[in-house]
């Protein structure tokens, strides 16, 4: 009798816990800035400087296409008159080791180069570092490509992210994987920051749907992936989900296809980068991954212009880089040279129809639109 009463009490407590609502959920509340104007234009302003936290090298394996997309938007804005006759100019700073030199690069942009806003960066880790600086300096950070949702959970009104988050990507991937495999799949993930974040989001989605991978293998960036691919090939799963940076993901898929030519492969946003296709080679042709660019006439027109100029198709960073800079130009033209005004103009931009598709901020400053799954190796 006592045991039954104890079970009843536990059940009542569990039901009560499920019904509890948080006192405040910052994810659902819009963040506004109500402080003073953080900067005033000087009389000697001869150009509108926009910081760019990323490599300004078109040949950079991870950031080259992002730089090309942003640069195209700047060139077009200047051909269209700039801002009241003043040209826009990108001020780039970057370090291949952002954890040691990244914050100082952003500080230099803000306090030495006196930029009006910052665009960047390549991934969630570098964006987090830049976010710490702009929160103190009070100027906008527009994140083109990171899918790490936690960059928008710091409660900072100056932070906006163009790409859908890992939460949206995990949902579309999880649905497809479970439908195809019935839960009999392998998860392979890297230990870098963004891959860990995506893996945690993906596993959280699986848990809510009472599923889990039959095997989870982790590897360090730049590791020898032949043994990992061999282990997956002989395991007997119906599919493999790969969450890793673009070069590592490409190398893994290449090794996997040498060991097994038939197992279906699902990947994250890194599969939509040009560098993934370059590392994977012919093996990139039959993978499935979230399609981060909507197929619209604007997307097709941008692809044609980009391909004609650079000789290859744009990947999703190129699309989103172009959109991020285009949105920034529009905000400056609307608000003038005012850091807080630029932030407010971006926040109130409404639904933006860009070359990447629609961009509209949720209360946390993230473009959380639905995504679909790409089939057959499309870059975007």
**Domains of the chain by residue range:** 48-164+296-370, 166-291
**DSSP category for residue 173:** H
Looking at residue 97, its pLDDT comes to 81
Instruction: Tell the CATH superfamily of the 48-164+296-370 domain.
Output: Response regulator (3.40.50.2300)
Burial of 131 (0-12, 13-18, 19+ CB in 10 A): buried
pTM for the whole structure:
0.90
Quote the pLDDT of residue 12.
58
Per DSSP, the chain holds a count of helices (H) and strands (E) of 12, 13
| 3-class SS shares of the chain: helix, strand, coil, % to 5 | 50, 15, 35
Which residue's structure tokens are 């994987």? 177
How many whole angstroms separate alpha carbon 260 and alpha carbon 255?
9
Contacts of 260 (CB under 8 A, 6+ apart): 232, 233
- Equal fold, 48-164+296-370 vs 166-291: yes
Beta-bridge partner residues of 93: 53
Strands of the chain, DSSP E: 48-53, 88-93, 117-119, 140-143, 159-161, 185-190, 215-219, 239-243, 265-267, 288-291, 352-354, 357-359, 372-375
- CATH of 166-291 given 3.40.250.10, 3.40.470.10, 3.40.50.2300, 3.40.50.1220: 3.40.50.2300
Q: Is 370 helix (H, G, I), strand (E, B) or coil?
A: coil
**Euclidean distance between CA atoms 186 and 282, whole angstroms:** 22
pLDDT in tens, the chain (380 residues): 555 555 555 555 555 555 556 655 556 666 666 666 655 555 578 999 999 999 999 999 899 999 999 999 999 999 999 999 999 999 999 988 877 777 888 999 999 999 999 999 999 999 999 998 998 999 999 999 999 999 998 888 999 999 999 999 999 999 999 999 999 999 999 999 999 999 999 999 999 999 999 999 999 999 999 999 999 999 999 999 999 999 999 999 999 999 988 899 999 999 999 999 999 999 998 899 999 999 999 999 999 999 999 999 999 999 999 999 999 999 999 999 999 999 999 999 999 999 999 999 999 999 989 899 986 544 44
Residues 32, 41 contacting (CB under 8 angstroms)? no
First to last CA, the chain: 62
Q: Under 8 Å CB-to-CB from 314, ≥6 apart: which residues?
A: 65, 68, 69, 302, 303, 306, 307, 379, 380
Q: In whole angstroms, what is the distance from residue 82 CA to residue 61 CA?
A: 30
């Amino acid at each position: 009798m006592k045991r039954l009463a104890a079970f009843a009490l536990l059940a009542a407590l569990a039901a009560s816990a499920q019904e509890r609502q948080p006192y405040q959920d910052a994810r659902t509340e819009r963040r506004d800035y109500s402080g003073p104007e953080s900067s005033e234009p000087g009389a000697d302003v001869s150009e509108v400087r926009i910081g760019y936290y990323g490599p300004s090298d078109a040949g950079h394996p991870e950031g080259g296409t992002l730089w090309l997309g942003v640069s195209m938007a700047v060139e077009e804005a200047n051909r269209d008159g700039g801002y009241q006759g003043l040209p826009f100019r990108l001020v780039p700073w970057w370090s291949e080791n952002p954890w040691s030199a990244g914050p100082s690069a952003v500080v230099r942009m803000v306090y030495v180069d006196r930029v009006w806003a910052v665009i960047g960066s390549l991934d969630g880790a570098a964006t987090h570092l830049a976010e710490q600086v702009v929160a103190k300096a009070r100027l906008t950070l527009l994140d083109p490509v990171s899918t790490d949702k936690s960059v928008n959970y710091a409660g900072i009104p100056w932070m906006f992210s163009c790409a859908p988050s890992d939460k949206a990507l995990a949902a579309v991937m999880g649905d497809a994987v479970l439908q195809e495999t019935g839960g009999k799949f392998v998860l392979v993930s890297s230990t870098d920051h963004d891959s860990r974040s995506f893996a945690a989001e993906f596993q959280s989605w699986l848990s809510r749907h009472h599923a889990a991978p039959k095997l989870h293998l982790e590897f360090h960036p730049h590791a020898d992936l032949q043994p990992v691919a061999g282990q997956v090939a002989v395991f007997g799963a119906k599919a493999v989900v790969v969450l890793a940076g673009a070069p590592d993901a490409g190398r893994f898929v290449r090794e996997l296809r040498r060991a097994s030519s038939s197992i279906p492969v699902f990947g994250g946003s890194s599969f939509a980068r040009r560098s993934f296709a370059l590392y994977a080679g012919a093996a990139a042709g039959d993978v499935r991954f979230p399609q981060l660019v909507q197929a619209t006439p604007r997307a097709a027109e941008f692809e044609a212009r980009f391909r004609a100029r650079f000789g290859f198709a744009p990947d999703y960073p190129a699309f989103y880089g172009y959109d991020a800079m285009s949105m920034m130009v529009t905000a400056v033209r609307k608000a003038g040279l005012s850091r807080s005004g630029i932030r407010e103009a971006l926040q109130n931009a409404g639904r933006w129809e860009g070359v990447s598709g629609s961009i509209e901020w949720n209360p946390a400053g993230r473009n959380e639109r639905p995504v679909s799954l790409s089939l057959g190796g499309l870059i975007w």
